[in-house]
Amino acid sequence: MYPALSTDALAKLRQPRPYPAVSLLMPTHRREPDNAQDPVRLRNLLARAEKDLQDDPAVTRERRADVLSQLERAVAEIDLVHAEDGLVIYVAPGEHHVWTVARSVPERVVVADTFLTRNLVAARSAERPYWALTVAADRVSLWSGSPERAVEHTGDGFPLTRSLADPDAERKERVGDLPSTFRDEETRTFFRDAHQALRTVLASEPRPLYVIGEAPAVALLEETGPLPRGAATLHHGGLGHGPEEAVRKAVAPLLAAHADAVTTTVLAELDTARGRREYAGGLDEVREAAKEGRIRLLAVEEHYRAVVRDYGDHLEPADASDLDSRDDIVDDIVERALETGAEVRFVRDDALTGAHRIAAVLRY
């Protein structure tokens, strides 16, 4: 299982590395027969990376051996059977990282003193990460999710568990002093601890929150303390231990409703920006605004990719086979926008047809 990508992890990946820091990106396929080509393409990509390191006079023998060893370890973690749309591999002296993403990436090998992160940044933004909290009287679990996967979060005190066995239950029942589970003070204390742990996670990694559990459990959590603005609840028990597929299935309708609401809000903001002349639409205008740090809100259709030739002051459509073409210009715009504090929203594929599939609300 590949790890979830947090804001903190992404920030660390973008820091400078000792040379050589190698980035390998490769589009992958989810289904037969297309996925049969993935192992061959990966071997070819690895061979290119090894040759680049061998031919680079700035890479010492010791550094080359270290990086190639890290590359072997990274490859051992790759599971092409469960591939998504893109594979991202980073290796540098003493470290390696592997990510699978639900967004296509260009096939590239880059040797530098930083990792090529723009495709990973864009993929993470497009994934619309969320938190799903499953609550029950004896277990509270937190799941880090996206439309493609859900991974149980096992840090920051999660999962919280306790036994419901009461050694004095029989006597309490005889004298009529056995409270219901969700009126019991120990349960309330348990939920207070869970609420505090949740607040800690959300403070460091804000995301949409979905709370799932039987009605009494959800009600008690809401009584314990306020949930974040926009948090959605679902009365569905039995998901404390997952499995992942069950959690994703339960959250799916909530995700769809959230995506529709986001699209409606984004379109309204773009319309308002047009009236105020704080609007940019299309690759050229939006790329220029991103370079100048003027974007407040960037809207991109979910699967928008563009192969272009970059002339500096303007972009022209190009074929992917052209040696000077770029097929990650959209991801580059997303990363530039995020670096300057913009909010990035991915919307459904037909939402921005009048704006050439990418648009922005400007700061000035």
Write down the pLDDT at residue 9. Answer: 85
Write down the pLDDT at residue 333. Answer: 94
Write down the pLDDT at residue 149. Answer: 81
Please list, in sequence order, all residues whose beta carbon lies within 8 angstroms of the beta carbon of residue 268, skipping any fewer than 6 positions away: none
Write down the pLDDT at residue 7. Answer: 76
Write down the pLDDT at residue 34. Answer: 86
Cα–Cα distance, 349 to 357 (Å, whole number): 8
Write down the pLDDT at residue 173. Answer: 45
Angle, helices 38-55 vs 61-76, to 10°: value is 170
Cα–Cα distance, 84 to 103 (Å, whole number): 8
∠ at Cα 283 (307, 119), nearest 5°?
Answer: 55
Write down the pLDDT at residue 3. Answer: 59
Cα–Cα distance, 97 to 85 (Å, whole number): 17
Parallel/antiparallel/unpaired status of strands 21-27 and 108-112: antiparallel
The CA R_g of the chain, rounded to the nearest whole Å, is 24
Write down the pLDDT at residue 264. Answer: 94
pLDDT, one tens digit per residue, over 138-190 is: 999 999 988 778 889 999 999 999 988 754 544 444 444 434 677 788 999 99
Global confidence as pTM = 0.75
pLDDT, one tens digit per residue, over 72-87 is: 999 999 999 888 899 9
Q: Which residues of the chain have pLDDT under 50?
A: 1, 167, 169-179
Tokens describing residue 27 = 């589009």
Write down the pLDDT at residue 11. Answer: 85
Write down the pLDDT at residue 176. Answer: 42
Tokens describing residue 60 = 């010492």
Write down the pLDDT at residue 307. Answer: 87
